[in-house]
């Protein structure tokens, strides 16, 4: 029976674990052993991990793999990917190798502007509010100088502040819509600190504005927060080659492959049920690199999916065409990333991943991440339109199934060889493993 607890956060880690295993597990020793076996033997490193979040009881490991042979703007990369899903790293690597001999990936950053908003209500005449905003805008920027000084020295800071009337959506609702340049930092803390200072100044200055009535002076700030929707923080990635160069064997011509590939992308552009899965494949590549480099993959996911629905209907993030005998596959996506601040300077594997990527700037990382997503999408569509997605995916999933049934090293060796020429399904692996074990017992 579950029970509540007071003061849990104040308990030591061992006391937290004692309460958890005593409350929720029948075999308390087994549960404790599982939790403790993932602790790091290096006490300082474990303490570092413990302090990343609250109420830490253990570490949750994800595999960190690498995908080599990515040629991006004529520069070679090996891309780190932290992910648990089978076939993602293999697919990215295969796509990288495919395009290595066809000119590689070409990328460019279109813009890097990020957004934050002060949401407030005002019950009064809009023209007066506009007059007040025009008057107070320079002071908003001035009062935030202690926060923006260092960012401005590096070439960033507040780009602009606009007043937005949102009363058609909610009565008396307005915004200060603020654009920022945060350079190599993702900038969340910087943006939020600026916004809270803007809100404080805006509210206090309203009390002294002569044109406001007493009711109009009572501006109510609801919240001040950055937006993870960054449609003006865009990067483009693309690949292209002659159509005939797409053919790797004689069973499918380059033209047939290109036509079917383009048709598959067109379907994702018009059919939301397909687009969601299509874009999920893109995010397999993007999230894995975002996570490996210590960035916020939840924010990236939210912003990208919102961008995919910006026309009022959820659609494909990637696009493809054939023109004048040239196949082109490309994508433009919003990415707010950082290479300084946050976990980038704390997590040892994040530091290693960034060093592996030649210590990129935020702009360079945007391009690398976009390429990982495009490569993943290309690999998935290539499988879907030729052999089918399951052939490659299930072969990669084979080891997970064997581990699930605690197969020995010798059993894994025999069955890996067996399924080189046989279709991998969960039932087929189960049957083959059972037959192998029966044979071994005789």
Supply the residues annotated as catalytic. Answer: 85, 280, 296, 393
**Count of Cβ atoms closer than 10 Å to residue 154 Cβ:** 12
| Closest-CA residue to 72 (of 91, 100, 112) | 100
Query: In DSSP terms, which residues pair with 164 in a beta bridge?
Result: 175
**What are the φ/ψ torsions at residue 238 (nearest 5 degrees)?**
-155, 160
Distances 118 to 115, 140, 167, 209, 358 between C-alpha atoms, Å: 11, 12, 15, 19, 37
Burial class (CB in 10 A: 0-12, 13-18, 19+), 301: middle
Q: From CA 337, how far away is CA 350, in angstroms rounded?
A: 13
**Residue 80: count of CB within 10 angstroms of its CB:** 25
| DSSP run (H or E) holding 86 | none
* CA gap 428, 433 in Å, rounded: 9
- CA dist 34 and 341 (Å) reads 32
């Amino acid at each position: 029976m579950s029970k509540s607890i007071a003061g849990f956060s104040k308990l030591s880690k061992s006391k937290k674990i004692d309460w958890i295993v005593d409350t929720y597990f029948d075999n308390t020793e087994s549960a404790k052993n599982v939790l403790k076996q993932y602790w790091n033997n290096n006490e300082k490193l474990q303490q570092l991990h413990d302090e990343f979040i609250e109420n830490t009881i253990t570490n949750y490991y994800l595999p960190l793999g690498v995908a080599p042979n990515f040629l991006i703007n004529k520069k070679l990369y090996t891309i780190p990917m932290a992910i648990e899903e089978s076939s993602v790293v293999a697919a990215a690597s295969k796509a990288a190798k495919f395009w290595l001999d066809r000119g590689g990936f070409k990328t460019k950053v279109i813009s890097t502007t990020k957004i934050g908003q002060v949401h407030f209500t005002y019950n009064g005449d809009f023209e007066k509010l506009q007059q007040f905003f025009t008057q107070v805008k320079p002071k908003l920027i001035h009062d935030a100088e202690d926060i923006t000084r260092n960012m401005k020295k590096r070439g960033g800071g507040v780009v602009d502040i606009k007043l937005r009337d949102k009363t058609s959506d909610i009565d008396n609702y307005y915004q200060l819509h603020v654009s920022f340049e945060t350079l190599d930092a993702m900038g969340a803390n910087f943006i939020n600190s600026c916004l809270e200072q803007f809100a404080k100044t805006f509210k206090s200055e309203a009390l002294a504005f002569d044109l406001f009535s007493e009711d109009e002076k009572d501006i109510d700030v609801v919240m001040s927060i950055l937006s993870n929707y960054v449609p003006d923080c865009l990067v483009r990635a693309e690949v292209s080659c002659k159509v005939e160069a797409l053919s790797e064997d004689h069973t499918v011509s380059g033209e047939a492959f290109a036509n079917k590939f383009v048709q598959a992308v067109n379907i994702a552009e018009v059919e939301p049920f397909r687009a969601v899965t299509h874009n999920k494949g893109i995010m397999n590549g993007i999230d894995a690199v975002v996570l490996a480099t210590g960035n916020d993959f939840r924010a990236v996911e939210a912003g990208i999916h919102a961008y995919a629905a910006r026309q009022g209907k959820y659609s494909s993030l990637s696009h493809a065409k054939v023109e004048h005998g040239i196949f082109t596959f490309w994508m433009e996506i919003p990415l707010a990333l950082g290479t300084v601040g946050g976990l980038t300077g704390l997590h040892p594997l994040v530091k290693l991943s960034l060093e592996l990527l030649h210590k990129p700037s935020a702009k360079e990382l945007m391009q690398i991440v976009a390429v990982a997503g495009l490569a993943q999408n290309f690999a998935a569509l290539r499988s879907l339109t030729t052999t089918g997605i399951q052939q490659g995916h299930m072969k990669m999933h084979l080891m997970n199934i064997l581990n699930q049934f605690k197969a020995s090293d010798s059993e894994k060796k025999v069955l890996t060889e067996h399924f080189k020429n046989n279709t991998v399904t969960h039932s087929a692996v189960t049957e083959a493993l059972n037959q192998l074990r029966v044979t071994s017992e005789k």
